[in-house]
Amino acid sequence: MLNNKRKSRRRHVRYTAWLALEGNKLHGCLLSDASDGGARLEIEDSKIVPDSFTLLLAGNGSARRNCRVVWRKPQQVGVTFERPHARRNQATLVPALDADKVAAQTGPAETD
């Protein structure tokens, strides 16, 4: 029997997520199981995954986890979730935009 070192129960999931990489680049991955303390990610090439990164769990970037890689296989990585802290160069999928403020600055839209 394998020695399970997890502190919390693992849940099997199939969920699309995104790695925030250097230079505001995003790379898709699949969250294949998760616990309160970490997750297993399936990715095309685990060599591109840095030792620490931000994992975006929502399409708009609102749900995210700071991760540290604890193991690697060619197409999988195991990560632990780190406590939140300020990170530079975090990528987001959708920039924050106050649509009412932009509309007031540009005026009403023209129609044909």
pLDDT > 80? residue 107: no
What's the rounded mean pLDDT across residues 35-46? 94
pLDDT digits (tens, 9 = 90+) for 46-99: 999 999 999 998 877 788 999 999 999 999 999 999 976 544 444 444 444 555
Of 28, 8, 25, whose CA–CA distance to 16 is shortest?
A: 28
- Higher-pLDDT residue of 80 and 8 is 80
pLDDT at position 105, please?
55
Q: Please check whether residue 44 lies inside any domain of the structure.
A: yes
Domain with 81, as residue range(s), is: 11-106
The rounded mean pLDDT for the chain is 78
Q: How many domains does the chain have?
A: 1
Q: Please check whether residue 41 lies inside any domain of the structure.
A: yes
Q: Please check whether residue 4 lies inside any domain of the structure.
A: no
CB 65 within 8 A of CB 52: no
**110 phi/psi in degrees, rounded to 5:** -80, 145
Element (H, E) at 104: helix 99-106
Q: Please check whether residue 3 lies inside any domain of the structure.
A: no
Residue 46 CA to residue 38 CA, distance in Å, equals 17
pLDDT at position 48, please?
93
Q: Please check whether residue 5 lies inside any domain of the structure.
A: no
What's the rounded mean pLDDT across residues 2-19? 76
Give the domain CATH number at 77.
2.40.10.220
Q: Please check whether residue 35 lies inside any domain of the structure.
A: yes
Query: For the whole model, what pTM was predicted?
Result: 0.66
Q: Please check whether residue 28 lies inside any domain of the structure.
A: yes
Q: Please check whether residue 2 lies inside any domain of the structure.
A: no
Chain-centre distance of CA 100, in angstroms? Answer: 29
